[in-house]
Structure 1
Amino acid sequence: MKFLIDNWYLVLTAVISGGLLLWTSLRGKSAGVTTTEAVRLLNREKGVLIDVSEPEEFAQGHAVGARNVPLKLLSTGEPVKQLPTNKALPLVLMCKTGARAGRAAGMLRQQGYTQVVAVAGGLAAWREASLPVEKSAA
């Protein structure tokens, strides 16, 4: 006990360091899944790829097989026909950078979807991983 009292600054440093490590790891999890994990969910768990970009952005380029459901459409809370009726299916969300997809994931969880994840880094990370991208016909 005397050691702890005499070296309180070491204890404080250890507690702060541990707290920052824990905060960083928890924050990283909420940022989304990697492209590898996204592909695994799509292929092995029959996940559905949803792109929450605006239609113009979607037309410029999106992951092959993605359904376009703009974020503003999700924010209404109304049922969206492009979403699966089975709310237990994994939904893999994507946008240009991953920011809107993260917000959309929260909205969909509130609507009852149980397995919703956003792709960390969005379409940019998807392209960087050399995964297939296509453009919509104008």
Structure 2
Amino acid sequence: MKTAHDLVAAAKSQIQEISIAEAEDAIKEADILLDVREPDEYAASHLQGAVNIPRGLLEFKLSGSPELSARNLNIVVYCKTSGRAALAASTLHEMGYLQVKSIAGGFDAWIQSGKSIVSPALPTFE
């Protein structure tokens, strides 16, 4: 029986994973930056310009969004540590998307490298 780790390892062997150093340029060139974390993770903080489509809804959201139907879209995907992003990138390839990159180490590696993030501030009620 395969474990989650086995599935992620298999996915990573089939996708293009890019380093944090390569990620900034890849994001600038991307048509869409996908954050496949859960909505509460995204709401807490995310990369500038990212669109949140949780991993569990990815296939359904993409299939139901005409603006995301072009299979030649340049897509960069990330999650917290890169496991969900690897699975998402693999799924995107299976769906026929041709230009998909996953950020190695994910959001955590992005933060550890000192890159900027968006952290919405809660309103004050004073």
- TM-score, normalized by length of structure 1? 0.68
Q: What SS does the corresponding residue of 1:63 show, helix, strand or coil? A: coil
Q: Which of 1 and 2 has higher RCO (CA within 8 Å, sep 6+)?
A: 2
Q: Post-superposition shift, 1:136?
A: 4.2
Stretches of structure 2 that go unaligned for 5 or more consecutive residues are 1-11
The letter for the 2-side match of 1:33 is I
Could you tell me which residue of structure 2 aligns to residue 37 of structure 1? 22
Query: What amino acid sits opposite 2:98 in the alignment?
Result: T
Q: Which residue identity is paired with 2:38?
A: E
Distance 1:115 1:64, change over 3 A: same
What are structure 1's unaligned runs of at least 5 residues? 1-26
TM-score (norm 2): 0.74
Matches within 5 A, 1:7-22: none
Partner Cα distance (2:41, 2:66) in 1: 17
Alignment match, 2:98: 114
**Larger CA deviation: 34-43 vs 106-115:** 34-43
Query: Residue 134 of structure 1: CA displacement?
Result: 1.1
Q: CA deviation at 1:50?
A: 0.5
Q: Taking structure 1 as reference, are residues 28 and 125 closer, same or farther at Cα in structure 2, changes over 3 Å only?
A: farther
Give the structure with the higher percent helix.
Answer: 1
Over the matched positions of the two proteins, sequence identity in percent amounts to 33
The CA RMSD over aligned residues, in Å, is 2.6
Amino acid at match of 2:34: I
The structure-2 alpha-carbon separation of the partners of 1:73 and 1:63, relative to structure 1 and needing over 3 Å to count, comes to: same
How many residues get paired? 111
2:36–2:84 Cα contact (<8 Å) kept: yes
- Structure 2 distance, partners of 1:122, 1:69, is 15
Where does residue 4 of structure 2 map in the other structure? none
Structure 1 residue 98: Cα displacement: 0.7
Equivalent of residue 130 in structure 1, options 92, 114, 119: 114
CA distance in 1, matches of 2:78, 2:102: 6
